[in-house]
Amino acid sequence: MRKAMTTDETANAKADDEQQNPANGQPAPNAAGASDQQASAVEHVVTEEQVREALRGVVDPEIGLDMVSLGLLYGVAVDGSKVKVTMTLTTPACPVGPMFVSAVHSAVMALPGVSECDVEVTFSPPWDPRTMASDEVKMQMGFYY
């Protein structure tokens, strides 16, 4: 026995039919012709705070503390779906530098709405945990002033 459709069900069925491309049965592009990925980037606008929070999950492998608390993050710039991270390393000769930069890039790219991430490493000013690290990190590292 077939049930009669309500007005809402009829409208939903029609909308579903219109989203299918009659030529190949695949979902049709939206009215602007944007892909699902572009639509997703528009739906998820990333903020500087979201990027900073994601970077709290990136731990310096030598020290075992997150890069934000250590003061290794110098800046975050968000321009639509593009993110630029300016950071430093504990030393220019940091043996895990490339791996650390890759972890920063991966953490940012995992955020919804990010299409591009540029990670810039700078040593100006040089990292100084006595002035750049959080108070909690200073205590953990033995800086008591």
Domains and CATH numbers, the chain: 8-40 (no CATH), 49-141 (3.30.300.130)
Taking the model in full, what pTM does it have?
A: 0.69
In this predicted structure, what is the pLDDT of residue 31? 45
Query: Residue 41: pLDDT above 80?
Result: no
In this predicted structure, what is the pLDDT of residue 144? 67
| CA gap 118, 42 in Å, rounded | 20
3-state secondary structure of 82: strand
Nearest to residue 132, comparing CAs of 75, 45, 73? 73
